[in-house]
Every structure is written in structure tokens, then in C-alpha cells.
Structure 1
Amino acid sequence: MNMRIGIVGTGGFAKKHAGIVSRMDGCEVVGFAGTSLEKAEKAASGFAAAAGYEQVEAMLDNGKPDAVYICVPPMAHGPIERSLIERGIPFLVEKPLGAEGSIPGELAKQITEKRLITSVGYHLRYTDGAQKTKELLEGRYVGLANGYWLGSMPGVSWWRTLQGSGGQFVEQTTHITDLVRYLCGEVSEVYAQFNRVVMHERVPGTEVPDNGVVTLKLRSGAVVSLTNTCMLPINHTSGLDLVTDLGVVEFRAHGVRDIRKGQITEFLNQTDPYVKENEAFLHAVRTGDTSRIRSTYEDAHQTHLVSMAAVRSAETGMPVRL
């Protein structure tokens, strides 16, 4: 019997996950829930077994999915997850977990109590490069790391408001924050400075900061600087450079460079992290074996706490201890 998959959302990531799932053996997409019936039906039209719904509850009642993918903007989280938790339906949710801190904290507790299978879309954890970086760091001491997300402002209106996205550090740079935790361990203190320079004048309705610099102190003693900007006219680069006692490890979405004295070795990704992410989640739903999931909701909540600490620090001008 095919595993039945429901999708909440009709945007690019909803379609990306649906496309991957539909090509996997023993899986079928049975429904899309969107902000309008028209959007949902349009998204569902590309999948033979799928129907479109304007309400999530209707999709759950009629489609009877075994698992659900949540691909919605940050401000839309809460009611969707609560419905799935109440029904005991496993879900994969795209990052970030929300635009503020209270709802993800509440949901994390409920998920733990219910022992519900979850996964969060921190796809960089599933790259070959992330696993290679873990190998390269064995036996080394990481003393310093520099991470960055340098690009342009997304064109959707919700992204420009703090209530909608939480800002770039919350919505985009979270990938790098999460990678720091995955590769180097937990964060003990956060200090942040954000600014608004030009985008609030150039793009109507913009509330989010243009630029940010966030300093993290790790429990290991390492210090990390994370910088982000959305004021560029282009999407420039993102990544994480790890400074160790044996050299520098440069992580990028496409692979890793190991830079040592007199030697530079490059390792390129060979597999699709989104496919691996989906395979790990659906394997867990099918078998109960969650060992291949690299980011559960509870784990991702720790990344979200770092994001919220950065926002609070930028507001108060004071460091925040975790």
C-alpha cells in the first residue's frame, strides 16, 4: 500500500517536496492545502491522486495522509502543527519554525510528550559536504568560525515585515546558525547588532533590518561571527569557514575545501540533500526508525532559540545567555 502524503502550502518548496515524494517508490501525494482553493487545485493538478483543499482539516479528513509536509511562511505556523500533533500525524516542516519564540516552544513540548516523528528542513545537514566536514573536524580544535548569508531581498511582501518573517537572520541565516550547531556544538551566549540603511526607503513596507552581525560563544569555547545582508542587488554567497589548529575548512552548499599548509583539497557533493532529507523522514514514518533524521523539531527548536536570542540582543543592545 502506498504511503499517502499531504502538502500544506503551494509555493516553490511545497512543489519541490511533492515532486521528490511522487518519484519515490510506495508514495503518493494525495492533497494540497493552500490559502485559496484555486492555488491548491492548481498545485494538485500535477499529481494524479491529489486533490486541492482550502482548509488543512479538510485535507486531513478526506485525504487521510500518513505524513504531512508543512511549507508555509514563518508567521503561518502554529494551527497547522497543532492539528497534526492532535491527530498523531508525522510531519516535515520547512524552516524557520516561526517568526517568534513562544509558538515553537509550545509545539516542541507537545511533540516530545506525544513522541511524534518530525523532521525540519535544514537540508544543509544532509549534504555530503556536511558529513565530510564532520570527518575533517575529528581530532581538531575549532577556535573560530565565520559564517555569512549575503544576498538580495526576496520579493514576497511577508518577508519584509518582522511579524511575517522575523527578519533575515531568522528566516535565511538560520541555515548557517543551524550548521554551526550541527558541526561545532551548542551556543551559550549571543550578541547581535542589526541596522536599517536603505531598503526601508527603496522597498515600501520594509521593516526588517538590512544587515546584521551576530556573535556566538559556544560551549566548547569557540567564538563565531555570523553576518547577513539583504541589501545587495544580487544573491552573492553563503557559507561557513571553520578555523582550526590544523587549517581552515570552508563549507559551501556545493561542497567543502580543506585548506592546510601547502595543501588544498576540495570535496564536491555527489548527492541531492533534499532527496536524502525526504528519504530519511519517510523511512522513519514507514518503519519507526528515526536514526536517519538529522534535524527533529526538538533539535531545530534549539536553533530557533539562538535566532530569538539574536533578535532580543539587537533590540536591547545586551548579550543574551542561553
Structure 2
Amino acid sequence: MAELRVAIFGCGRMGNERARCVQEAGATVVFVYDPDAERAAKMALEFGAEAIATQDDLPWSDVDAVFFCTPPHCREAQALAAIRAKVPFLAEKPIGISHAASDRVLAALTDAPVVNAIGYMNRCRASILQAKALLEDCRLLGISAHWVCRQYTVPWWLDESASGGPMNEQATHLFDLCRFLGGEVEEVTSLAALNGSHAVQPLGSASALRFSSGILGTIFYSCESSVKDIGLHLFTDKGGIELSGWDFQMTSNMVTNTLPLPSDENVFLTETRVFLEAVESGSREKVACDWEEAARTQLLVDAARRSMSEERELELQT
């Protein structure tokens, strides 16, 4: 890989993770930005980059790609800036606090296509890809997924105007995986937990999905626990497939009665490397999720949130 020059917006946990991955993939972090100037300076020092004072100070012609590791409400403006500059970008999921801004970005990408990727990193996991391959030889009957955890402590995470709320910012991983493994969803019904949930927005929810294929799925989400409990179960006509933990390790496979060896893969490195290779080649073929694909997941999450607030089922245009 040629030595690509990369900028990173957002110097928090994910910004630092992406910077490490960029370096390991053989590219160079040359500019970093964060509204917290001290945090940006610290990251710049660690990675030998230059900290810029504002987003507008980025010399777009001096970078080959940019990573947006910022809160969801920043997504549209940053993506449009990259498209105008014709610079490829990887943005963390989700694509915004709702689908409302997505059409403007999609229109801009139609007029001026650039390589782009959205950080639904679970699509890159070996275990998820192995499960998807197993489904080619059996009939999927249904999906049951859950994500239970504690709240993130960053100030914007519970601010719906910045994150879209926990379902939008975090449970989106499960909605995306359900689409990735089960196909498009045509109907969703969601209920909010009432026991101890936040006064402004629910911290727990349960969603029932009806897929276009006719199969059913469920998603349970809560950020009111002190420990993580994450998993996904695929029901098939040849038995179940169980994926467990944040890394979705395959822990049960009744389809072939074999299990892959435990993996210590860094899925962020895998995703980052695929994106940088796409930047170098100009081909998006191997990118697991681009803006257009992520927009479909956003539509599903938006429908689930509306169903929860309006207490009714919602149909999606598929």
C-alpha cells in the first residue's frame, strides 16, 4: 500500500483507535481535529500529526482520506465537506441522528462520487461472515438479538440532539446485523421499557421485525446494566447458530456441528485496511457498508424509534 495521508476528526476513543489502525495499515496520520484543543494536541503528539484549530483549517488537497470519529449530529456537514473536496471518507456509524439528512449526502455522492465507508464494523467480522456463509446451505427461520450494557459517559451520548439516543447510536449495530444476515425488513414494532428508564428517552427497548422474506426477528436493547451481555441467535431449519459477546464469537453451530477457532482479530483494523485499500484502488467493491447501504439501516432504526414513540407498528418501503 502506498503511504496514504490521512486526517482524523474526533480525538476520543474511536479517533485514537482509528489512528492506531491507520498506522498499522501502513498509512500516515497527518492532521487531527477535535473541539477539545488539549485532546487534539495530545493525539497529534502521539501520532506525529498536526492539530488543526477548526474543521475549516483542513487543507483538503493535502490528504488522501479522512476519518470522521465524531458524534452523529456532525455527520452530514462533514460528509458534504469531504464530497465537495473529492476526498474519500470513513464515518463511524450511524450516519446521523435520523435519515433526514441522508438524501442530501446521497445526492452529493451521485453528482461527485467518492469512496466512502460507514463503520458498521461487525459486517467485517470473521464470525459474522462465517455465519452468513452457513446460511447459504440452510433456510433461515428467524433471528433473536440482544445488546445489554452500561451507558457511555461521554456528554453527548444521552443527548438526543447529538446522538439520536441510545437506540440510534448503539442498538443500530443489531438492526444492521439483522439486515445483513436476514435481508430487508418491511415492518417493525417497538416498545420502550418503563422500569427505571430515562425520563426524556427510553434506555431499554424491544423490537419485533418482519422481514420481506416473511421470517421474524426480535431485538432487545438496554443500557441500564453494569455488565455487557451481547449476542445473536440465528434459527434455521438445520439448527441454531449462536454468536456471543461484543466480538460475536461463534459459540454454537448446529448446522455443521463445527466451530471456528477463537479469534483475536481487531475488526477495526480489518475495516480500516479495507477502506484504505479502496481509497488506493478507487474501487468500493470490498467496502462492507457505504453511505447508501447505511441509509437503509438508518431508515429501519428511524422506523423503530417512531414505532416506540407512537406506540404502533410501522411499515417500511423496501
1:2 corresponds to 2:3: yes
254 and 320 in structure 1: CA distance in 2 versus 1, 3 angstrom threshold: closer
Distance in 2 of aligned mates of 1:113 and 1:248? 45
Equivalent of residue 142 in structure 1, options 136, 140, 143: 140
1:213-245 deviation line (CA, Å, top 9, x unaligned): 11111111111100101111x232112101110
**Equivalence for 2:254:** 260
Deviation (angstroms), 1:60: 3.0
SS at 2:312 equivalent: coil
Deviation at 1:198, TM superposition (A): 2.1
The offset of 1:193, in angstroms, is 0.9
Code of the residue aligned with 1:10 in structure 2: it is C
1:311 corresponds to which of 300, 305, 312: 305
Taking a change above 3 Å as real, the CA distance of residues 270 and 210 of structure 1, as seen in their structure-2 partners, is closer
Query: Aligned pair 1:223/2:216, yes or no?
Result: yes
Q: CA deviation at 1:264?
A: 4.5
1:7 maps to a residue whose letter is I
Verify: 1:235 aligned to 2:222, yes or no: no
> Residue type matched to 2:233 in 1?
D
Give 1:285 shift.
Answer: 0.5
Which stretch shifts more, 299-308 or 248-257? 248-257
Distance 1:260 1:23, change over 3 A: closer
Question: Does the 8 Å CA contact 2:205/2:222 hold for their aligned counterparts?
Answer: yes
Aligned length: 312
Q: TM-score, normalised by structure 2?
A: 0.93
Quote the residue 1:203 is aligned against: none
Aligned partner of 1:12 in structure 2 is: 13
Query: What is the match of residue 123 of structure 2?
Result: 125
Whether contact under 8 Å (1:71, 1:94) holds in the other structure is yes
Is 1:24 the equivalent of 2:13?
no
CA gap 1:75/1:196 in 2 versus in 1, 3 angstroms: farther
RMSD: 1.8
Counterparts of 1:184 and 1:191, CA distance in 2: 17
Matched with 2:189 is 191
Conserved in 2, the CA contact under 8 Å of 1:57 and 1:83? no
Bigger drift between 85-94 and 263-272 goes to 263-272
Alignment of 1:91-130 (within 5 A): 91-130=89-128
306-315 or 35-44, which deviates more: 35-44
1:122 Cα offset (Å): 0.9
| Structure 2 unaligned blocks of 5 or more | none
C-alpha deviations, 1:33-65, integer Å up to 9, x for none?
1113322222111122x110121121235x721
- Amino acid paired to 2:25: M
Q: How does 1:141-180 map to 2 (within 5 A)?
A: 141-180=139-178
Q: Can you list the C-alpha shifts for 1:136-172, whole angstroms capped at 9, x where unaligned?
A: 1112111111011111111122112222222222111
Contact 1:145–1:242 (8 Å) recurs in 2: yes
Structure 1: 5+ residue runs without aligned partners?
Answer: 201-205
Matches of 1:40 and 1:272, distance apart in 2: 24
Write the distance in 2 (CA, Å) between the matches of 1:190 and 1:254.
24
**Matched residues in 1 for 2:145 and 2:276: separation?**
31
Deviations 1:52-105 (A, max 9, x none): 0121121235x7211000001112222211111111111000011111221123
1:122 & 1:269 partners in 2: Cα distance?
19
Once the two structures are superposed, what CA deviation does each residue of 1:174-225 show, in whole Å capped at 9, x if it has no partner? 111111111111111111111343253xxxxx63312101111111111110
- What is the Cα deviation at residue 309 of structure 1? 0.5
1:270 CA displacement: 5.1
Query: Structure 1 vs Structure 2: percent identity of aligned residues?
Result: 27
Give, in whole Å, the separation in 1 of the partners of 2:90 and 2:57. Answer: 19
Instruction: Find the counterpart in structure 2 of residue 298 from structure 1.
Output: 292
